Amino acid sequence: MAPSAHHTHPQHEHQPRHDHTHTSSTVYSPGDESALAHILDLDAEVLASQLAEVIDWVGQHAEGTPLTIADVGAGTGTGSFALARRFPTATIVALDISPAMLDHLQTAALRQGLTERMRTVQGDLDAAWPAVGPLDLAWASSSLHHFAEVDRVLRDIFAALTPGGLFVAVEMDSFPRVLPHDLGFGRPGLEDRIQDAIAHAGWNSSPNWSPHLSAAGFGLLEERSFAAELNPAPESTGRYAHAFLTRIRAGLTHQLAADDLAALDRLLLVDGPDSVLRRDDLSVRGSRTAWAARRP
C-alpha cells in the first residue's frame, strides 16, 4: 500500500512514491526504514500537542461512535494510537505497504496494551484495496500524496466507508523548523535555504485535496490549518533535529552550498560544542492542513 503517513507535504510537483514517510522519500530509501521509524516516532513525540489538536477536531466531525477506523499509510502508528485513545471502543485497522513498519507498530501496540484493538494489514493500495470490511472513519496522514493513482484510492476509501462515514486527510505544509535564524556561525538563515532546497526538490509535495475529495463523491466538511509554535521546545527536539538534519545532509549534498554543508556538519557533530543535541535555543514551528469529508 502506499507509504506510511510519513515520507512527506504542500503543493508543487506531485511525485508519487512507493516508500514511506513524514519525511521525504528522497531522504529515505526503502532500505533504511529503521531510521525512518525513528524520526517518525520523534516527530510524534515532539509534535504531540499538534496531533492532539487535530484528533480532537476529528472527534468533532465524527457522527456517533466509530466502531472501525482505518489508518491509511499507518507507518509507526502515530495516528493509529491517537485515534485509539480518542475512540476507546473502536477497532483500528493499520494499513501499510511495509512489513517492517507494521512490525514496529505491533511492538508499540503491545507496549501500550492495545493489541486487542489493533489489526495490521500489509498491502499495496495502488494495486488493490484490501478486504478490511466496512469502515466508520478513515484517516490518511501524510500518505495520500504517495499513491500513483490517488483518485482511485479515494474512490476505494469512499466505497469502504459506511454511509455518513468520515474521511480525514492530513498533510504537512512544510517540514517543521527547529533552528534559530542565526546559529552563531555560518551565514544566518540556514534553515530558510534548507526549506527552499526541499521545495525545489519537490519533496513531500501535495495538492489541495478538496477537488479530489469532491470528485470521489465526498462532501467536504472543513479544510483547516493547524499551526504549532513550541518555545521552549520539547525535551526530545534536539534528537529530532539531529535525526532529520542527518537525512537532510545526505539528501541535499548537491543542492546546498559548501558553507551550509559545513554548518550542518558542526550541528551534527555529536560531541561538538555547537551540536544540535546541546543547543538550548531550539524551537519548533510548523503547520499541517487537514481535510474532513463525509460519505453521504
DSSP string over 135-187: EEEEEEES-GGG-TTHHHHHHHHHHHEEEEEEEEEEEESSPPB-S-S--SSS-
> Contact 67/88 with Cβ under 8 angstroms?
no
Q: Judge if the upstream peptide bond of residue 232 is cis by omega within 30 degrees of 0.
A: yes
Report the pLDDT value the prediction gives residue 270, as an integer from 0 to 100: 96
CA 41 – CA 77 distance, rounded (Å): 9
CA 67 – CA 98 distance, rounded (Å): 25
> Contact 174/286 with Cβ under 8 angstroms?
yes
| Partners of 220 in beta bridges | 293
Dihedral (C-alpha) 253, 3, 234, 241: value to the nearest 10 degrees?
-10
CA 195 – CA 284 distance, rounded (Å): 14
CA 274 – CA 296 distance, rounded (Å): 55
The tally of CA atoms less than 13 A away on the side-chain side of residue 62 is: 22
Residue 140 is classified by DSSP as E
Report the pLDDT value the prediction gives residue 6, as an integer from 0 to 100: 35
Q: Which residues of 66-89 are buried (b: 16+ CB within 10 A; e: fewer)?
A: bebbbbbbbbbbbbbbbbbebbee
- How confident is the chain (296 residues) per 10-residue block, as mean pLDDT? 33 33 34 81 94 97 95 96 97 96 96 96 96 97 94 98 98 94 98 94 86 98 97 95 94 95 98 96 96 98
Report the pLDDT value the prediction gives residue 285, as an integer from 0 to 100: 96
Q: How many other β-carbons are positioned within 10 Å of the β-carbon of residue 193?
A: 16
> Contact 2/126 with Cβ under 8 angstroms?
yes
Q: Which residue has the cell 527536539?
A: 237
**For residue 82, what is the enclosing H or E element?**
helix 78-86
Report the pLDDT value the prediction gives residue 4, as an integer from 0 to 100: 36
